[in-house]
Structure formats: structure tokens, C-alpha cells
Structure 1
Amino acid sequence: MSIRTVGVIGAGTIGRGVAQSFAQAKFEVILVDISQEQLDSALAQIRRDVLVHAMLLGQQAQESAETVLSRIRTSTEYAPLADADFVVENVTENWDIKRAVYEQIDAICRPGVIFGVNTSAVPITRVASVTKRPAEILGLHFMNPVPMMSAVEVVSGHFTSEETLDITRGVLKDLGKEGIVVQDSPGFITNRVLMVTINEAIFCVHEQIASAEDVDKMFRECFGHKMGPLETGDLIGLDTILNSLTVLYESFRDSKFRPAPLLQKMVDARLLGRKSGQGFYTY
């Protein structure tokens, strides 16, 4: 199957990064979001990111940005996805919202079109069960910042076919990324481990064991991490952390996934990290 046009659902931080990555790899992109304002903001951010990247590499910056953007068309409707050869969904970690999206796009997209579920915790087999194409459903866990990451967590659900995995590995290779295949389980590998780590770091701050700065410094200086867990939480978005922990807790019924009270309080206060300008740090 030739993949030339990719549908990207959701124009938030991850969605726009996915759209940018595909457009820079010379795919045609259909970027869909319910908000035109969000779409406009995504295009503006992509333009800035491409310009910065181009200037760092000494390229013709303006031309590069406009060329990339020319490959992205936007819509507040799902109908244009009828032209897509491959779809990546990036909506919020809420099962009711995701289910409604898949029920709609399953009726619009051609048979055989692969749906990549960009999720950190929702089971892929559950998503597949609400479509008429379960063999073409798999997880594609892109991480932020998408254009800079060299690997993607690829999740094989109960019904996912080997052909779907092979095609997806090829698509990711075209993006300059390696697909690392794991089996379907809530949180998969990355988030099952990462969310507990971030949550425990938040508990340490909540219990006044250490400041956010010192917690992160320990991880950077002692373990060689590029970012500490709280810096990582701010980058991902604390609302996304909370949603992921909630899904993990509901899936496993294990208290180790219980969100820290401070995390819930910060999300309630809309202190979400980088995207809101304030989280554990000020941006």
C-alpha cells in the first residue's frame, strides 16, 4: 500500500508535532480539530518551529517553512479524511471522546486504512473493538517534542495484523523514526513506568521532602537524565499526566497509580505546565 496522504486528528501539542513531522517528510497532511482557533495556532507554531530548525541548519528558512506548511490542509470536519491513506489520532485521553471519534472516522475512511491510536494509556484492543477494521488498528505513542524524537512506541493490539505492523514500520522509517513494538497493556511500557515516577516525584513535593528543583536536580545529576520527572511532567502537560494515571488506576485497580493530591489541585488550578505557562516551573 502506498501511503502519501496522512490524516492527523487533534491539533494540540502532540498533534501539531505529528503533522509537522509528516509534512517535513513530504507527506500530504490533513490536520483536523474541532476548533479553527486551535488549527490556526498549530499552523503558526509549526511555522515557528520549522523556521528555528531551518535557521539552526543554515537553510533557506522562510522557503522551508512555507513549503512544509503547503503540505498541510486543515479542517474542522472529519469528511476530508476520506482522502487519507493512514490516520493518526491524538485527542485527549478520555475513552468516551476517543470512542466517538473512531465510530465516525471508521465510516468515513476507506477499508484498509490504518488507524494509529496516539495514546499513553487507553488499550488498543478496546479501540479496535468499536471499528469494522480491528486488524488495521494499532497504537502509535509519539512523545513530545515529536519532530525531535527518534523512536515511537508501537502497540500491537489483540487483532493487529503483521501487515499493519510492517506498513507502519515503513511509514515511521520515512519519518526517520524507529518503531519499537510492544504488546497491548494499559500504559504499555513507557507510561506504565513514567507515570508512576512522575507521580511519586509529585508526592515528594506534596510531602515537602524536597523542592521541585531539587527533585529534578537529583535525577539529572545522579542518573544522567536530560530532564527531571517534574520538568518532564510540565512538558507533557499535568492534565495529561492526571488523565493517564486515572486510566491506569481504573485499568489495574492498583493504588500505586493513585494520583497525588497536589497533581489534582494543580490541574484544577489550570497550572498545566509549559502549555499554560505555569506548572512546577514558570515559562
Structure 2
Amino acid sequence: MSDPAAVLVAVLDDLRSESDELDQLVGELKPAGWSAPTPAPGWSIAHQIAHLAWTDAGSLLAVTDAGAFAAEIDKALASPHGFVDDGAEAGAALPPAELLARWREGRERLQQALREAPPGTRFPWYGPPMSAASMASARLMETWAHGQDVADALGAVRAPTARLRHIVRIGVRARDYAFSVHGLTPPAEPFRVELTAPDGELWADGPKDAAQRVSGPAHDFCLLVTQRAHRADLAVRAEGPDADRWLDIAQAFAGPAGPGREPKEA
């Protein structure tokens, strides 16, 4: 698919589907259920949804008012380690029904703003400026990742879908960023990444003859780059020292490297 307008529509449709799937997990929760702890230390289910609502609001601001968003960047720079947690904490303090309504309304407003964005527009963000399609992909990645935290808290198992391809693309493109965040020089040569999609299709990126290679299930790769599972618990494999190092530090999100997850007990 090469038409930018068609690409944007497809990504936004997938974002809506991803959000709807998470909504099904939390939409009927009793008030007490929102307090259930998730794998993220100190974050309940309410914190997870509050974070998504908060980030949707920030994304909408970036799309509609770049000047006002610049002030948000200043806040983030002033408190790089507390900025995100503060936003989640404020939202989690709301009554669950109000928080749920805020998330639903905010994500729909963002959907509409991105669908109406002039072609070729790039919007400011905490990292490099993003196109509408890139912003939608980033929102899908975060929705899926925080949705995994919610699913884990509830003991729910989500079936992997073709929407993982958006997360794979971000994770692969963020290779050099992951090295840089850790103070490392990114490898000069491209890697070959071969991942098995949920339907068995092979998703491949990079030269076929690359010496540095990564392979495995796409679902496991997504869990790795969103830091929702420890590498030791996943079937993602590396060939070559640089590829091996990447799998230790990979991240698909902007900002400081997170602590990740501890390996499961044997």
C-alpha cells in the first residue's frame, strides 16, 4: 500500500480495533476491579487507562496546537522521570466511570483530528516530529502494550492479530534509537529481521545476506520491544554480537529505557 491517505486510514482503523479490544476488557469492570495491580510497579488498571487517556490528550494537542504542546515538552524536560507517572496518577484518581468516558472521548477526538489532518503534515512530539500515520501507529503500539498489562492483571489471554505489524515496524525502525538511549553507537550495517506473523506469514526487513540477524514469532518480538516480557521468556533469537546486544536493549517507545520485566521463575 503506497497511497499515504490509504495508509493513514488503514492504521487508524487498526488503532480503533485495538482500542475497542482493550475497551472490552475494562468496559464492564466493577469499580474495585480498576484498582487491580498490573505488572507495572505501582500501576493499577486505572493507571494504565489513565496513561492512555493522558497520552491521547497530548497527541491531540500536538495535532491541533503545536504552541501549547511545546509547553508540555518543557514540563517533560523539567521532570523527565515523574512526568508520565504524574499524569497516570491524576487520571487514576478519577471515578472509574469518568476515567473510562474520558478515554473513550479522547481517543475518538484524536481519531477525527488525524483523519482530517492535511496530507504531509508532521506534528511535534517528545522525539522527532511525526506524520499522522506514524502518530497513529505509535498510539496503537502503546494501546497494545498497556492493554497487555491490563490483560495480565485480569488473567486474560489476547489472541495475536495482524495489527502487530505496526509494532514490529516501530521496533525495527527504533533500533538505532535503542542503542543511543543506552549511550552506545548504533551499528553501521543493517540487520535482517525475520518474524513469523500470527497467520504464519513471514514479515521480513533488511538485506537477506546480512550478518546480523533476528528471528522468531512476531508476537514475542512485540513483547520484547515494548518491554512486556523478559528476553529469556521469549522465542526471539539473534545471530551476531550486535543483533544479540540489540535484543537486550530494544525498545519501541520514546524516552528513557525502562526497567523492563523480570524473567519468569523456572
Q: TM-score band, normalised by the shorter chain?
A: under 0.3
- Say which structure, 1 or 2, has more relative contact order (CA 8 Å, 6+ apart): 2
Task: Calculate the TM-score normalised by the size of structure 1.
Answer: 0.26
Larger strand percent: 1
